[in-house]
Amino acid sequence: MEKYEKLEKVGEGTYGKVYKAKEKATGQLVALKKTRLEMDEEGIPPTALREVSLLQMLSQSLYIVRLLSVEHVDKAMNKPLLYLVFEYLDTDLKKFIDSHRKGPNPTPLPPSLVQSFLFQLCKGVAHCHSHGVLHRDLKPQNLLLDQQKGILKIADLGLGRAFTVPLKSYTHEIVTLWYRAPEVLLGSTHYSTGVDMWSVGCIFAEMVRRQALFPGDSEFQQLLNIFRLLGTPSEEQWPGVTSLRDWHVYPRWEPQNLARAVPSLGPEGVDLLLKMLKYNPAERISAKAALDHPYFDSLDKSQF
């Protein structure tokens, strides 16, 4: 680890601290993510092994933050650590949206940028899904941006795969519920790629609105927020919903016009958003299919 000079702590990831650092030899900026290795009499835990190697495999994609190397630190007195060394990107989508909302002259995100970011996000998600990996915690904070080049990359991936999505991170910071799919909130145990697509939909809407679509502060509140906008789901719409573990009797809200929640978005964008926010996970659009949606017709795809 002497190869790197830690510059500052840039975040508390769900699974460990993240530092901005510089590789001494090259001056290249990197993000260091510390992961404790809970070694026991059976060496490196299989979960950690699988996670690191999945990450190693997935980070070959342009739309996934690149894992540059893995450093193993084993000091006699302390627990062994793995440092994951990632490429460093200067900002994330949350900060970027914030900068367009707050500050001296707030302006909407240019529609072509929203389109480009969403396309790259779908590319990255499609890549994960084609490898059988769910992200399960997609949110603006986990989407890193290279502002100059207009590039978006998915981060904080793979390390969550073996666990259930935690409510609290190890630092007891509350994990946000805003992007969580209704089937997860309702206690479904057999969820699939649709959970990520729900999050993608919420992020899409948030880029357009510059504020979260469903900002709930408890699981119950979160569900009510969703139901109030999209209507309370019915068995016809979503077979099996009323037998999910955490289903209760809810007020029967009628669906609102989604276009009004994203007033600056054109009809094709609204159509894609609706397909991402389908209640029935089986009907939700896949990342791969989303890439071919007419909303992206006006995008110059040759640049990707």
Partner 1 sequence: MATNFWTSSHYKQLLDQEDVDMVNPLDKEKGITLEDFKLIKIHMANYISKLAQNVKVRQRVVATAVTYMRRVYTRKSLTEYDPRLVAPTCLYLASKAEESTVQARLLVFYIKKLYSDDKYRFEIKDILEMEMKILEALNYYLVVFHPYRSLSQLLQDAGLNDINMTQVTWGLVNDTYKMDLILVHPPHLIALACIYIASVQREKDTTVWFEELRVDMNVVKNISMEILDFYEGNRMITEDRISAALNKLGFRS
Residues with catalytic roles: 137
Which residue's CB is nearer to partner 1, number 70 or number 244?
70
Among 5, 6, 9, 49, binds partner 1 (CB under 8 A): 49
Among 13, 16, 30, 61, binds partner 1 (CB under 8 A): 61
Measured CA to CA, the distance from residue 117 to residue 119 in angstroms comes to 5
Which residue's CB is nearer to partner 1, number 44 or number 151?
44
Q: Which stretch binds partner 1 (CB under 8 A): 68-76, 112-120, 168-176, 278-286?
A: 68-76
132 part of the interface to partner 1, by CB under 8 A = yes
The least CB distance from residue 263 to partner 1, in Å, is 39
Which residues, 73 to 112, sit near partner 1 by CB under 8 A?
A: 74
243 part of the interface to partner 1, by CB under 8 A = no
175 part of the interface to partner 1, by CB under 8 A = no
46 part of the interface to partner 1, by CB under 8 A = yes
218 part of the interface to partner 1, by CB under 8 A = no
DSSP letters, the chain, are -TTEEEEEEEEE-SSSEEEEEEETTT--EEEEEEEE---BTTBS-HHHHHHHHHHHHHTTSTTB--EEEEEEE--TTSPPEEEEEEE--SEEHHHHHHHHHSSSS--PPPHHHHHHHHHHHHHHHHHHHHTT-------GGGEEEETTTTEEEE-S-STTTTSPPPSB-TT-PBPP-TT--HHHHTT-SS--THHHHHHHHHHHHHHHHSS-SS--SSHHHHHHHHHHHH----TTTSTTGGGSTT------PPPP-HHHHSTTS-HHHHHHHHHHT-SSTTTSPPHHHHHTSGGGTTS-GGG-
3 assigned to a ligand binding site: no
Which residue's CB is nearer to partner 1, number 50 or number 168?
50
Among 43, 103, 251, 263, binds partner 1 (CB under 8 A): 43
7 part of the interface to partner 1, by CB under 8 A = no
Q: Which residues bind partner 1 (CB under 8 A)?
A: 41-44, 46, 49-50, 52-54, 56-57, 60-61, 69-70, 72, 74, 127, 130-132
Annotated binding site for ATP: 33
Annotated binding site: 33
